[in-house]
Amino acid sequence: MDRIEKCKDKFEKLFGGKPTQNEGNDPEFMRILQRFIFGEVSYTGSLGDEMRELVTVTVLTVNQTLPQLKAHIGACLNIGIAPAAIRETIYQCAPFIGFPKTLNAIAAMDEVFASKGVALPLESGETATEEGRFDEGLALQKPVYGDEIKDRYAWLPGEFAEAAPRFLTELCFGDFMTRKGLDGKTRELLTVVMLAAMGGAEVQVRSHIEGALKTGSTKEEVVCALVHATPYMGIPRLFNALNCAKETLIEQA
């Protein structure tokens, strides 16, 4: 199949309709967009449609492109992704992009869920206890990233030397990474994409690519996820992510 036929097949599977022909005010732009995303990028690399859509949901959440986010949440449901997995993909963005932007994405998600007959609220995904969230978070953090961050920020004034590293462990790992709905490998790979889409977080991109490899992703899967994110985050951020992680990816070859 050529990319036009591939685009038709992928578009039908994800959205239950047909790609643009000559409809609307800008059909030429839409043909370029759809044929590139759904006729080329979606067929490049090893990742399946389910992982690709979670990658897309992640980038759209980071970018706050809510109309497109709603469309792709619908696509997730159309191809059988569990609502809990969609929810966790969005929830785990909070420590990285902040709570307000995550709340915007949650509102968009809930609107789609309601329109599709998904009962809300979903079943709880919490596993960490209030008393144990630090220890349970550290149990996930330490094997992948170590715990030296508390020494790295010992220079901070007063209580912040203790609080800043603790907030990372308790919030990112204790409150979110311990939750049900996504496995650790998927969470780490989506975190790589999230950081790449943010821009300006290349140090963290490199660290989390190492984390993704440690939690079971292959070099090809990491690159595939970043490439799949490209139509949504732009080519410069793809190359920034690849350049900052070049040595890590070469070492894993």
Write the CA distances from 191 to 23, 160, 188, integer angstroms. Answer: 36, 25, 5
Residue 160 in domain: yes
State how far the Cα of 3 lies from the Cα of 76, in Å rounded to an integer.
22
- The mean pLDDT value for 110-114 works out to 98
pLDDT band (50, 70, 90) for residue 252: low
- Domain contains 216: yes
Residues 184 and 225 in one domain: yes
20 part of a folded domain: no
Is residue 63 located within the same domain as residue 111?
Answer: yes
Give yes or no: residues 82 and 104 share one domain: yes
Burial 197-223 (b: 16+ CB within 10 A, else e): bbeebbebbbbbbbbbbebebebebbb
* Distance in angstroms between the alpha carbons of the first and the last residue of the chain: 31
Note whether residue 143 is domain-resident.
yes
Element containing residue 144 per DSSP (H, E): helix 133-145
Say how far apart CA 224 and CA 218 lie, in whole Å: 10
Q: Which residue range(s) make up the domain with 204?
A: 44-119+179-251
Per-residue pLDDT of 134-144, as tens digits, reads 999 999 999 99
The CATH number assigned to the domain holding 193 equals 1.20.1290.10
Residue 93, classed as helix, strand or coil, is coil
Q: Which residues contact 83 (CB under 8 A, 6 or more apart)?
A: 77, 113, 118, 122
The C-alpha atoms of residue 37 and residue 228 are separated, in whole angstroms, by: 8
> Rounded to an integer, what distance in angstroms lies between the CA atom of residue 106 and that of residue 162?
31
Is residue 188 a part of any domain in this protein? Answer: yes
- DSSP state, residue 123: P
At 108, which helix (H) or strand (E)?
helix 99-115
Asked, for residue 2, whether it belongs to a domain, the answer is: no
Is there a single domain that holds both residue 51 and residue 165? no
Per-residue confidence (pLDDT) for residue 251, from 0 to 100: 74
Q: Which residue has the tokens 């650790």?
A: 184
Residues 54 and 161 in one domain: no
Residues 49 and 115 in one domain: yes
- Asked if residue 241 and residue 219 are part of one domain, the reply reads yes
Work out how many domains the chain is built from and give that number: 2
**Which residue pairs from 221-226 have beta carbons closer than 8 angstroms and sit at least 24 positions apart in sequence?**
221/45, 221/46, 221/47, 221/189, 222/189, 222/192, 222/249, 223/45, 223/249, 224/44, 224/45, 224/46, 224/47, 225/47, 225/51, 225/55, 225/189, 225/190, 225/192, 225/193, 226/192, 226/193, 226/196
- Tell whether 230 and 115 lie within a shared domain: yes
Same domain, 171 and 183: no
Residues 55 and 102 in one domain: yes
Query: Residues 198-224: pLDDT tens digits?
Result: 999 999 999 999 999 999 999 999 999
Q: Are residues 62 and 87 in the same domain?
A: yes
Q: What is the pLDDT of residues 151-186, one digit of tens each?
A: 899 999 999 999 999 999 999 999 999 999 999 999
Residue 253 banded pLDDT, cuts 50, 70, 90: low
Based on the fold, state whether residues 114 and 56 are members of the same structural domain.
yes
198 in any annotated domain: yes
Q: Tell me, yes or no, whether 137 lies in a domain.
A: yes
